[in-house]
Amino acid sequence: MTPAPHDPHRTDVLVVGGGNAGISLAARLLRTGTARDVALVEPSPVHRYRPLLNYVGGGEATTADLERPMVDVVPDGVRWVRDAVDGVDLDARTVTTRRGRTLAWSRLVLCPGLDEDWAATPGLQDAYAAGWAFSTYVPAAAPLVWPALRRLREGTVLFTVPPEPAGCAPTALKPLLMACGHWQRRGVLDDLRVVLALPLRHAIGVPDADARLEEVLAGYGVEVWREATVESVDPVVRTVEVRTPTLTRRLEDLALAHAVPHYTAPGWIEASGLADGDPAGLVDIDPETLRARAHPDVWAIGDAAALRTTSSGGALRKQVDVLVHNLAAAAAGGRLRRYDGYTVAPITTSRRRLLLVETDRSGARRRRLPLLSRARPRLSAWLLDRYVLPRWYWRGILRGRV
């Protein structure tokens, strides 16, 4: 049914985005009584538990494991507007949608996620279409990753970690390390040239965890290019140019490339005057209170917010905690809580071992999961990440219980 062009109802809290952040926040707002009514704007009919995409790319999960109909996860009592945002009028306190609806709000929370920026890497999208480049970050491409990696016996293969902003960028190492473990067991690893392009000097920025990863990468014989990003791709001859601080390097006649596209915030954030001035166009917020610097009734969490920390599901859980408190505190004139940038990066180092790294915005190591968070890959951490957390997500996080 086509919505009316104007909705006279002014929603107490309007949430933009139906991913982990938006759904779990909406559920928690109603469960705690922080908001009297909540509306959610999200165009997709499908909700995904995105961390499992890496396991799809490693042959350890299927898309059916990570997808649910959106109608089944929108919390009871939340009004779902199945539409995409086209702009925000801060003076009128309204959101306009792509289908022409006007939604009025008293408080606005932005968590729309990020958009793929294919233009930032000329030729990459065509290489995806040609079938020799893909990544687990692109849901439609994720099911193609494992069959291609599993069949590989020789040649050069490139893996990339995306530059920020990106959704939990270090986990782009998961398909690489799961594939290397598979190739090693099959006895073909020595016949492959495996190249990893890192956007920074190190994968995580936590010394003991990075040291452990360096050992794992060296053990697999992975050639690591540091401070490296893909500059351009020739989809026909399978050539990739990679820019490093000192020169541009070329990989020719690639067998495969697990190349993650760059990401930016949706363009309407900058067009509405909410961006922080960075080229990625993230929402300009105080990264500790999660409140927009220039607009006190606007808040943001998740990948599209300028939080100065690596995004992750663990980070979102802490952000939702802080935001629910701060929405109530701001309404009552109380003291706002501070988000310290806590995040967690789960990185597989083989088919059945996972390194779980917890840190905060300063880079200090945190131990909120004390039995699992030492800088050593563990089977228990892998089982937690692959099987326990998805159930916790569907049954607890999305229902506002944790």
User: Whole-angstrom Cα distance, residue 243 to residue 249?
Assistant: 6
Q: What pTM, to 2 d.p., does this model score?
A: 0.94
According to the model, what pLDDT value does residue 244 have?
94
User: Whole-angstrom Cα distance, residue 113 to residue 302?
Assistant: 7
Mean pLDDT of the region 65-75: 97
For 69, other C-beta atoms within 10 Å of its C-beta total: 10
Length of the chain: 402
Say what percent of the chain tops pLDDT 70: 95
Question: pLDDT confidence of 351, banded at 50, 70, 90?
Answer: confident
Specify which residues 46 forms β-bridges with. Answer: 69
Kindly report the CA angle at 194 between 189 and 195, in degrees rounded to 5? 165
Tracing tokens 């020799």 back to the chain, one arrives at 132
Tracing tokens 């799809």 back to the chain, one arrives at 56
Contact 296, 13 (CB under 8 A): no
Q: H or E stretch including 178?
A: helix 173-186
User: Whole-angstrom Cα distance, residue 264 to residue 274?
Assistant: 14
pLDDT in tens, 220-270: 999 999 999 999 999 999 999 999 999 999 999 999 999 999 999 999 999
Tracing tokens 């490139």 back to the chain, one arrives at 158
Mean pLDDT of the region 327-353: 94
Closest C-alpha to 258, from 234, 280, 240 = 240
Higher model confidence: residue 325 or residue 367? 325
Closest C-alpha to 161, from 277, 81, 263, 259 = 259
User: Whole-angstrom Cα distance, residue 55 to residue 177?
Assistant: 11
The token pair that represents 265 in the structure block: 């915030």
Ordered by where they begin, the domains of the chain are 7-114+265-341 (3.50.50.60), 117-262 (3.50.50.60)
Closest C-alpha to 303, from 209, 171, 206, 118 = 171
Instruction: Please report the sign of the dihedral spanned by the C-alpha atoms of residue 58, residue 62, residue 65, residue 71.
Output: positive
User: Whole-angstrom Cα distance, residue 373 to residue 370?
Assistant: 6
Specify which residues 194 forms β-bridges with. Answer: 157
User: Whole-angstrom Cα distance, residue 327 to residue 323?
Assistant: 6
According to the model, what pLDDT value does residue 285 have?
98
Q: Which of the residue ranges 139-148, 221-230, 344-353, 384-393 would you say has the lowest mean pLDDT?
A: 344-353
**DSSP type of residue 191:** G
Pairing, β 102-110 against β 7-16: parallel
